[in-house]
Amino acid sequence: MRTIDWNDEAKSITLVDQTYLPKELKIIECDNLASICEAIRSLRVRGAPALAAAGGFGMALAVTLSSATSMEMLLKDLKVAGDTLKATRPTAINLAWAVNRILKATEDAYDLDSIQDIVISEALRIADDDVKINKAIGKHGHRLLEDGDRVMTHCNAGRMACVDWGTALGVIRSAVEKGKEIEVIACETRPLNQGGRITTWELMQDNIPVTLITDSMSGHVMKNGMVDKVIVGADRITQDVVFNKIGTYTHSVLAREHEIPFFVAAPVSTFDPNGWEETVKIEERDGDELRYMGGEQIAPANVRVYNPAFDATPMENITAIVTENGIFQPPFLLDEVIM
């Protein structure tokens, strides 16, 4: 099942609304730019590779709905639409990567119709490529996991974070596909519990044994020998750090303290070779995500909240990075990793 796709007949985007998981597998339709932007901001669609597909299909919506009567006007509309899409989630680089890839592809256009054809075709190619890339990450990465491993993961880096298969969970799926018995420990992942809500649901759908813990238990389970490996996804990888959902840095420090391998699985499109930790803006989420849960108030309504969505894990805490190009170990030379 593809978690996000383009409906060419209706000229709309269909996607799994992840805010309903695990209670309901609900498919929604986005038929204008505002609706896909809202879906991205509210995390109805989330995960770096899935955001690339959302960015591509968002551009397909923009080109379909534009009333431009000249190439110049249409390209201007696309630039505005691209800027709007990129602003929805500034930390996750895949979204901007997909928008920029489509804008570059339009340089080969020669009339209005060709622009539309190029944009839609490129958006579909981004989605198709994602599935192939994730399978390649799994093909390489499963070698890092041994039969009987207990693997801890954080947030959701499975098929719901991608078009299909997944990155970190894709490595686990590939290992299981090879006949290895793998058990997973999933951190709940505050503030939106994407590990508890989505990762556990995905693994249970695949009959892969999973145990849910709170984020603050990771040191306890590592100290007590319950974790053999840690594997996570990424939203942006710069020269010096890996940005991933808040809490990842803490797990990396604990893994290093307990001499547990810490792996990152991500496509090349997640790399920002010109970026450094200090150049990246970390998105802050609404404080009500911590004041309320499921509509119920769980903290004082007027309490001050600090709610960053991501943190930065330094390269020295990472044992290996897995991409579609293979497994890379320190020192991480990004130019070699993304070739």
The set of catalytic residues is: 235
CA–CA distance from 191 to each of 115, 195, 204, 308 (Å)?
A: 40, 10, 22, 9
Rounded-to-integer distance, Cα 26 and Cα 218, Å: 31
**Which residues are 312's β-sheet partners?**
243
Rounded-to-integer distance, Cα 295 and Cα 308, Å: 21
Rounded-to-integer distance, Cα 46 and Cα 265, Å: 16
Q: Is 205 annotated as a binding residue?
A: no
Q: Is 170 annotated as a binding residue?
A: no
**8 Å CB contact between 145 and 320:** no
Rounded-to-integer distance, Cα 271 and Cα 266, Å: 8
**Which residues are 184's β-sheet partners?**
151, 210
**8 Å CB contact between 136 and 324:** yes
Rounded-to-integer distance, Cα 49 and Cα 52, Å: 5
CA–CA distance from 159 to each of 110, 165, 171, 294 (Å)?
A: 37, 4, 11, 24
Q: Is 47 annotated as a binding residue?
A: yes
CA–CA distance from 193 to each of 18, 108, 172, 196 (Å)?
A: 11, 43, 20, 5
- Phi first, then psi, for residue 235 (nearest 5°) are -105, -25
Q: Is 46 annotated as a binding residue?
A: yes
Own/partner contacts of 305-310, CB < 8 Å, gap of 24 or more, are 307/191, 308/246, 308/282, 308/283, 308/284, 309/91, 309/245, 309/246, 309/282, 309/283, 309/284, 309/285, 310/91, 310/235, 310/243, 310/244, 310/245, 310/246, 310/248, 310/282, 310/283
Q: Is 143 annotated as a binding residue?
A: no
Residues annotated in the binding site, as ranges?
46-48, 89, 194, 244-245
Binding residues for substrate: 46-48, 89, 194, 244-245
